[in-house]
Amino acid sequence: MAEIGHNSHADVITSEASSQLKSFVERIERLNEDKAAIQGDLKELFSEIKSVGFDTKILRKVIRIRAMDASKRSEEEAMVDLYMSAL
């Protein structure tokens, strides 16, 4: 862990810690740029999907369900069935 010194006038970060911090910030900035690009790509893809007639709301739900663990999905489906039968 980087050492952070303390001065009576101000907090001081060592040269090594400063370099490490700068590296972390730059990595975060690059990842945020990548994330923004991916989000833009997804937006374009969903627009394309919608333009050919698919329901993107349902597609998003299908993708969410497919990402679920099988046991969690079964449990959720059972709860939905229980609630529906109660209504």
pLDDT of residue 50: 98
Sign of the C-alpha dihedral, residues 40, 46, 50, 51? positive
Instruction: Please state, in angstroms and rounded to a whole number, the distance separating the CA atoms of residues 43 and 84.
Output: 33
* pTM of the predicted protein model: 0.65
Q: What is the pLDDT along the chain (87 residues), one digit of tens a residue?
A: 555 555 544 578 899 999 999 999 999 999 999 999 999 999 999 999 999 999 999 999 999 999 999 999 999 999 999 999 999
CB 2 within 8 A of CB 12: no
CB 56 within 8 A of CB 45: no
**Any idea where the domains of the chain sit in the sequence?**
1-53, 55-87
Instruction: Please state, in angstroms and rounded to a whole number, the distance separating the CA atoms of residues 55 and 49.
Output: 8
pLDDT of residue 68: 93
